[in-house]
Chains A and B, each alone.
Chain A
Amino acid sequence: MDALQEQGVALFAISYDPVEVLQTFATKHGIAYPLLSDAGSLTIRRLGMLDEDLERHHAEFGISTRDDQRGVAYPGVFLIDRNGVVVKKRFQRNYRIRDTGTGLLDAVLGVPATERDVEQTVRHGVVQAQLSLDSSVYRPYQQLQLAAVLTIQPGWHVYGMPVPEGYTPLSLEVMPVQGLEVGRVTWPEPHPFRIEGLEDQFFLYEAKVRGTVPLTFAFPPGVGTQTVRAAIRYQACSTTECLRPEEVRFELPVPEIPRVE
């Protein structure tokens, strides 16, 4: 929210909840921006944001639909410019990706537009790096698995351990956070490689390599969205040249599983 304020961007949220519900919610989570109450869903309908398919969406997740859930809005974010014109819009269909804590906006904006688990992909030069979590939300004290996948263009490789001096090995590092327990990173065995005329023994990864690390979200209920910050480091070389070492940073916001109150 502060980042938005700094950039001079206003923020509004709309749902069909009555004012009293929003008041409790805002107080509990320290929300200062307007939570607009569209009780009766007239505005939601007028703007074409009614989730008429709620039953079907629920069925996909094995949930039955209650009467008080009809009239609910389809989750989405609209960016409007200084003239009030819509410049961007994004929707999030995944029922589970919804934050009941302080990070409402992080949860909506931080999640990819497609229905997948939390994931980010960065393409840079000959390597595409992808970081993903095997769940889109966490339960208190749940262990999830973070996976890093590198897709390397043919003719190039990155290095595994042990690595000769001066080369940067492939690594995955998760930034320490109070409550987030980071286990051991596991990479597959690299394959040995020796260049004729050179003394050094290399261990390489080519094409695709996947590393994983267990993360335990040791947080009590009610703490809300946690952001996993991680970095993948590597150095890509071909048989004739080496590119400089790269560090690719990721931020994955992981909402807490919504609780029924």
Chain B
Amino acid sequence: MTAHEPESIPEEHRQRGPEIGERFPDVRLPDQTGAIIDLHKVRSGRPALVVFYRSARW
């Protein structure tokens, strides 16, 4: 049996970032090798997790 997490998003976070139900915006950025990554293209029809994090440095 695994832990069950609350489904609701706290009020202050609901408006933040792309909305549930909307298409995730196009993102084209270089990755760690310098290659330009087109997110939806590289995703290639698979579901995906997109993680925003503060920094790899601090």
Evaluate contact between B52 and A105: CB separation under 8 angstroms.
no
Q: Which of A46, A51, A81 contacts B54 (CB 8 A)?
A: A51
The closest CB in chain A to the CB of B20 belongs to A86
Known: A37-B29, A73-B54. A9 touches B47 (CB 8 A): yes
- Counted as pairs of residues, one from A and one from B, with CB atoms less than 8 Å apart, the total is 203
Evaluate contact between B51 and A84: CB separation under 8 angstroms.
no
Q: Which of B31, B43, B53 contacts A10 (CB 8 A)?
A: B43
Evaluate contact between A14 and B50: CB separation under 8 angstroms.
yes
A68-82: which residues lie under 8 A (CB-CB) from chain B? 69, 72-82
Residues on B with beta carbons closer than 8 Å to the beta carbon of A51: 54
Complex: A17 Cα to B19 Cα, angstroms: 25
Complex: A31 Cα to B37 Cα, angstroms: 16
Evaluate contact between B47 and A82: CB separation under 8 angstroms.
yes
Evaluate contact between B1 and A83: CB separation under 8 angstroms.
no
Please count how many residues in chain B sit with their CB below 8 Å of the partner chain's CB atoms: 47
Known: A48-B18, A91-B13. A15 touches B53 (CB 8 A): yes
Complex: A85 Cα to B52 Cα, angstroms: 17
Residues on A with beta carbons closer than 8 Å to the beta carbon of B57: 17, 21, 25, 261
Evaluate contact between A12 and B32: CB separation under 8 angstroms.
no
Residues on B with beta carbons closer than 8 Å to the beta carbon of A12: 27, 37, 39, 42-43, 48-51
Residues on A with beta carbons closer than 8 Å to the beta carbon of B34: 19, 23
Known: A77-B51, A85-B23. A36 touches B16 (CB 8 A): no
Known: A46-B25, A86-B22, A249-B1. A35 touches B54 (CB 8 A): no
A159 within 8 Å of B (CB atoms)? no
Evaluate contact between A86 and B24: CB separation under 8 angstroms.
yes
User: Chain B interface: which of A121-129, A171-179, A235-243?
Assistant: A121-129
Evaluate contact between A104 and B48: CB separation under 8 angstroms.
no
By a beta-carbon cutoff of 8 Å, the part of chain A in contact with chain B is 4, 8-17, 19, 21-26, 31, 34-38, 43-44, 46-49, 51, 69, 72-91, 98, 100, 104-105, 108-109, 112-114, 120-124, 248-251, 258, 260-261
By a beta-carbon cutoff of 8 Å, the part of chain B in contact with chain A is 1-6, 9-10, 13, 15-25, 27, 29-34, 37, 39-40, 42-58
